[in-house]
Amino acid sequence: MEVLEKEVFKGIEYIRIQKLTPASQEKIKNYLKPGELIKILTPEGIMPDCVCYSIYIQWVKQSNQQLVASSEKETDTSTNDPIAQVPSLRTAV
């Protein structure tokens, strides 16, 4: 997963959700607690889809841990090997 660089406005470190992929946008919206999606008023206008950078980094770390865990699960041959799942066949091989 590509990590966005933080943006800073008046000392607020944030990212814009719109800069994420559509799939990541949906996932982070589901991750956020009420009040963690913030609006920032800049000279260019209101940015309604901001998340504090520290919260974003927590989400990235959690997402990466879940990816690693699911990847390890898929490569675990003991659960994918049908012979290993049947005790009588395991000793016969």
DSSP class of residue 20 equals S
Q: Flag whether the pTM goes above 0.95.
A: no
Q: For residue 51, what are the β-bridge partners?
A: 15, 37
- 46 three-state secondary structure: strand
User: Could you tell me which residues come within 8 angstroms of residue 29 by beta carbon, excluding any fewer than 6 positions away?
Assistant: 17, 37
The pLDDT tens digits along the chain (93 residues) read: 789 999 999 999 999 999 999 999 999 999 999 999 999 999 999 999 999 999 999 999 999 988 787 777 766 555 555 555 555 544 554
